[in-house]
Structure 1
Amino acid sequence: MRSIHVVTHPEASHHVEGLVGGWHDSHLTPAGLREAALLARALRTEIPEDAEVELISSDLLRTRRTAEEIAGVFGVEPVLDRRLREKSYGEAEGKPQAWLDKRFVAPPAAGDRMGHDEGVPGAETKAEFAGRVYAAMDEILQRPCAHQIIVTHGFALTFVVAAWIRMPIESLGYVNLRAPSGSITHLSEDDFFHNRRLDRLGDTRHLDG
């Protein structure tokens, strides 16, 4: 059985400072570092000790630091892939959230939601964002490793899961899966029917410890 654990990075500085994240290279807070250690410990209990494990992560600092914590537990080197980054918010990145809120143009209730221009120069459309995450997942899923850990961001997780279940990009206009910071989402595929399951979404029970 193929098993993929998708991790959303824990609390980062842009969360507590009220800044727009995206490609802004924020770092984990002290609380986020503690949560990263709890994440790593939880993953170690879920994945068999003798299993070969591959770790792939967004290259931004907050995800990279989370991956390093996991890597230390599993004794592997993380593979960094910039295509697993959060959505780019262009000129808004690193600015106060209120700056973006004043300029943001919400997508229409109907029509071209994937190609919608949100009114912020340099920001990715949903189609561009989904396209790069899908491209990363295409490569990840071609690898033979049965146990993979993917470290990414809250918004990007929607497209990781959608790519896993082979949802066409053109069908993503209304899809939004919610996974809190520091969560674990578990995906699996059986060896007989090759059905792909979403076993667990946005689990944070490990943070209670």
Structure 2
Amino acid sequence: MRSMYVVAHPEAAHHIEKVVGGWHDSRLTAAGLRAAGAIARTLRAEIPEGVEVEVVSSDLRRARRTADEIAGLFGVAPVLDRRLREKSYGEAEGRPQEWLDRRFVPPPATGDRMGHHEGVPGAETRGECARRVHDAMDDILGRPATHQIVVTHGFALTFVVTAWIKMPYESLGSVSFRAPSGSITELREDDFFHNRQVVSLGATGHLG
């Protein structure tokens, strides 16, 4: 059986400063650091002793710090993969959210949603973000660890899950899995049927 736990990093400075995140390299807040500790303890209690555990994380500071907290309890070093970063918002990153809101061009209800450009120079399309996250997941799932912990971001998490359930790229235009900051999503593949389950999505009970 393979188990994967997908962590959406907890509260970071850009959340409370109301600035655009994306690749803006904000730090965890004090509350975020406490939540990272709770996430780590919850995963340590959930995963059996003695099994091989791999921690893979976005390289942005808020995710990396969360991964360090988790990896420390398992006695491993986190693997950093920039492909697990949040969607890039280009020139909007680090600016007030209202700056982005004034310029944002929402995607059409139908048509080319994956290639749609949202009106901000340097921003990724949905398709560009999805492709790199799926590429990262191909590599992660090609490794032998039976228990893997992936630390990523709220928007990118959707594509971690779609890669897990093998949704084709062409079907990703409208899908969205909502997982709050600091949440844990549990994924599992059984040994017999090799079905890939979404056991839980965006669980936050560990945050109290």
Q: TM-score range by the shorter chain?
A: over 0.9
> 1:200 is aligned with what amino acid?
S
Gaps of 5+ in 2: none
Gaps of 5+ in 1: none
Q: What is the match of residue 109 of structure 2?
A: 109
Q: What is the match of residue 138 of structure 1?
A: 138
Q: What is the match of residue 125 of structure 1?
A: 125
> Take 1:46 and 1:177, find their aligned partners in 2: how far apart are those partners?
23
- Supply the RMSD in Å over aligned alpha carbons: 0.4
1:169 CA drift (Å)? 1.0
> Take 2:63 and 2:85, find their aligned partners in 1: how far apart are those partners?
9
Q: What is the match of residue 82 of structure 2?
A: 82
Q: What is the match of residue 200 of structure 1?
A: 200
| 1:4-57 CA-partner distances (Å, limit 9, x unpaired) | 000000000000000000000000000000000000000011100111100000
| 1:65-107 CA-partner distances (Å, limit 9, x unpaired) | 0000001111100000000000000000000000000000000
TM-score by length of 2: 0.99
Q: What is the match of residue 2 of structure 1?
A: 2
Write out the 4+ residue segments of structure 1 that deviate beyond 2 Å after TM superposition: none
> 1:13 is aligned with what amino acid?
A
> Take 1:71 and 1:193, find their aligned partners in 2: how far apart are those partners?
30
> Take 1:121 and 1:170, find their aligned partners in 2: how far apart are those partners?
25
> Take 1:16 and 1:31, find their aligned partners in 2: how far apart are those partners?
11
The count of corresponding residues between Structure 1 and Structure 2 is 208
> Take 1:170 and 1:89, find their aligned partners in 2: how far apart are those partners?
22
> 2:15 is aligned with what amino acid?
H
> 1:80 is aligned with what amino acid?
L
| 1:101-142 CA-partner distances (Å, limit 9, x unpaired) | 000000001111000010000000011000000000000000
Q: What is the match of residue 171 of structure 1?
A: 171
> Take 2:145 and 2:204, find their aligned partners in 1: how far apart are those partners?
25
Q: What is the match of residue 71 of structure 2?
A: 71
